[in-house]
Amino acid sequence: MPKPLPIVPYLKIPDEGDPYLEGHRCLDCRAVFLGERSVCANCSARDRLEAVRLSNHGELYVYSITHRSFPGVETPYVGAIVDLEGGGTVKGNLIHIDPDPEKIPLGLPVELTYQIAPRKDAEGNEYLMYYFQPRT
């Protein structure tokens, strides 16, 4: 069976071991970014960014609950922005939680979980997606 494709370039799928998100850390100021870049957006250092494996654990920074979307997109869903432990801020959907603001506290400890996307693309490729879920 062919390997699924990553849904975003910063989702890495090693031949051995678990998938993970990759960031780039500035060697000078330690700021962490998603995606490759040559200049640090925090301190302007050039060519001082190294690839790092981001933590699977983080805290919910902010979220919004979407009740209406395109046909075929199941609602409601919770779109979240999460600050990962050790650096990196990542956007993704928060699953396995009641989409009720009363039940989703800011700062909630969450973890990444990786799943095959429900649909394939026109060429029949499968995609690996990432989500957040409350930490157990």
Give me the least distance between CB of 87 and Zn ion, in Å please: 11
Q: Which is nearer to Zn ion, 34 or 40 (CB)?
A: 40
Q: Which of 62, 56, 64 is nearest to 133 (CA)?
A: 56
Q: Which is nearer to Zn ion, 26 or 110 (CB)?
A: 26
Rg, C-alpha atoms of the chain:
16
Give me the least distance between CB of 37 and Zn ion, in Å please: 11
To 5 degrees, how large is the angle CA 103–CA 90–CA 57? 65
Give me the least distance between CB of 76 and Zn ion, in Å please: 38
| 128 CB-near residues (< 8 Å, 6+ apart) | 4, 5, 6, 7, 11, 13, 19, 114, 115, 116, 117
Residues in touch with Zn ion (CB under 5 A): 26, 28-29, 31, 40, 42-43, 45
Q: Which is nearer to Zn ion, 31 or 104 (CB)?
A: 31
